[in-house]
Structure 1
Amino acid sequence: MSSPLPAARARPASYDAVLAHAWTVEEFTATDVIQGTGLSRPTAIEAMEALARIGLLHELPDARQGGDYRRGRPARRFALRGDAAVLVGVDAGNVHVTATVTDLRSRALATHRTILEMDRDDPSARRTLIQGTVDAALQDAGRTRSDVLAVCVGVPAPVNAAGRSPRHPAGFWERMNPGLIDALSWAPLRRVDNDASLSAVAEGAIGAAQGCRDYVTLLAGARLGAGVVVDGNVLRGTHGGVGEMVAFDHVTGVGTADGLGARAEAWAVEAVATGAAATSALAALPRDRLDGRAVLELAAGGDEHARAIVDRLGDVLARVVSVLGSMFDPQLVVVSGAISAGIADVVAAARASLPTDLDLPAPELVASQLGTDVVVTGAIAAAAADARAHALDVWGADHVPQ
Structure 2
Amino acid sequence: MTEVSADLGTGRASVGAVLDFAWTANEFTATDAMAATSLTRSTTIDAIDTLVSADVLRELPNARAAGSYRAGRPARRFALSSELGVVIGVDAGDTHLAVTVADPLDRTLVHHRTDLDSGHSPDERRDTILEQLRLRLEEAGSSRDAVLAICIGVAAPVNRDGISPPHPDGFWERTNPGLAAALADWAPIVDVKNDALLAAVAEASDPRGAAIGCRDYVALLAGERFGGGVVVDGHVLHGAHGGVGEGVVFDHIVGVGSAFGLGPALQDQARRALDDGEIAADGPVGELAASDRVDTRALLGLAASGDADAVLVTGRVAETLARVVGVLGSMYDPAKVIVCGAVAESVEPVLTAARGILPEQLHLPAPELLASALGAEVVSLGAVATARRAARERAVPQLAERRLAGR
1:337 maps onto 2:341 in alignment: yes
Summarize deviations over 1:140-161 as a string: whole Å, max 9, x none: 2111111110100000000011
Specify the alignment match of 2:251 in structure 1.
249
After superposition, where does 1:149-160 map in structure 2 within 5 Å? 149-160=148-159
In 2 relative to 1, CA 271–136 (structure 1 residues): closer, same or farther, beyond 3 Å? farther
Specify the alignment match of 1:98 in structure 2.
98
1:392 maps onto 2:397 in alignment: yes
User: Which amino acid letter does the alignment assign opposite residue 153 of structure 1?
Assistant: I
After superposition, where does 1:226-265 map in structure 2 within 5 Å? 226-265=228-267
Give, in angstroms, the shift of residue 194 of structure 1.
0.1
Distance 2:376 2:221 in 1: 10
Give, in angstroms, the shift of residue 248 of structure 1.
1.3
Secondary structure of 1:178 counterpart: coil
After superposition, where does 1:176-191 map in structure 2 within 5 Å? 176-185=175-184, 186-191=186-191
Secondary structure of 1:98 counterpart: strand
Secondary structure of 1:84 counterpart: coil
Counterpart contact for 1:337–1:373, Cα < 8 Å: yes
Distance 1:39 1:384 in 2: 26
Distance 1:6 1:197 in 2: 28
Summarize deviations over 1:32-82 as a string: whole Å, max 9, x none: 111111111122112212222222221111122223323211111111124
Counterpart contact for 1:113–1:133, Cα < 8 Å: no
The alignment of Structure 1 onto Structure 2 pairs a total of residues equal to 394
Distance 1:161 1:106 in 2: 27
With normalisation by structure 1, the TM-score equals 0.93
Specify the alignment match of 1:130 in structure 2.
129
Give, in angstroms, the shift of residue 227 of structure 1.
0.2
In 2 relative to 1, CA 65–277 (structure 1 residues): closer, same or farther, beyond 3 Å? farther
In 2 relative to 1, CA 176–53 (structure 1 residues): closer, same or farther, beyond 3 Å? same
Give, in angstroms, the shift of residue 315 of structure 1.
1.5
Unaligned runs of 5+ in 1: none
Secondary structure of 1:366 counterpart: strand
Summarize deviations over 1:96-122 as a string: whole Å, max 9, x none: 11000110113111012221122x111
Query: Which moved further from structure 2: 126-135 or 293-302?
Result: 293-302
Query: Which moved further from structure 2: 323-332 or 305-314?
Result: 305-314
User: Which amino acid letter does the alignment assign opposite residue 241 of structure 2?
Assistant: H
Unaligned runs of 5+ in 2: none
Distance 1:184 1:115 in 2: 21
Specify the alignment match of 1:45 in structure 2.
45
Distance 1:198 1:73 in 2: 48
Distance 1:82 1:62 in 2: 18
Query: Which moved further from structure 2: 358-367 or 210-219?
Result: 358-367
Secondary structure of 2:25 counterpart: coil
Distance 2:38 2:243 in 1: 42
With normalisation by structure 2, the TM-score equals 0.92
Give, in angstroms, the shift of residue 28 of structure 1.
0.8
Distance 2:314 2:327 in 1: 20
After superposition, where does 1:77-92 map in structure 2 within 5 Å? 77-92=77-92
Q: Pick from 299, 303, 310 the counterpart of residue 306 of structure 1.
A: 310
In 2 relative to 1, CA 357–257 (structure 1 residues): closer, same or farther, beyond 3 Å? closer
Distance 1:210 1:42 in 2: 38
Counterpart contact for 1:87–1:106, Cα < 8 Å: no
Give, in angstroms, the shift of residue 168 of structure 1.
0.4
Distance 2:36 2:52 in 1: 19
1:114 maps onto 2:114 in alignment: yes
Specify the alignment match of 1:58 in structure 2.
58
Give, in angstroms, the shift of residue 283 of structure 1.
3.5
Specify the alignment match of 1:380 in structure 2.
384
Distance 2:364 2:370 in 1: 18
Give, in angstroms, the shift of residue 6 of structure 1.
11
Give, in angstroms, the shift of residue 7 of structure 1.
7.0
Counterpart contact for 2:339–2:372, Cα < 8 Å: yes
> Percent of aligned pairs with the same residue?
51
Specify the alignment match of 1:278 in structure 2.
281
User: Which amino acid letter does the alignment assign opposite residue 199 of structure 1?
Assistant: A
Distance 1:140 1:270 in 2: 47
Counterpart contact for 2:269–2:317, Cα < 8 Å: no
Give, in angstroms, the shift of residue 296 of structure 1.
1.2
Summarize deviations over 1:258-277 as a string: whole Å, max 9, x none: 10112112222344456534
Secondary structure of 1:64 counterpart: helix
In 2 relative to 1, CA 326–127 (structure 1 residues): closer, same or farther, beyond 3 Å? same
Specify the alignment match of 2:141 in structure 1.
142
Query: Which moved further from structure 2: 51-60 or 23-32?
Result: 51-60
Specify the alignment match of 1:363 in structure 2.
367
Distance 2:167 2:192 in 1: 17
Specify the alignment match of 2:173 in structure 1.
174
Instruction: Give RMSD over aligned pairs.
Output: 2.1
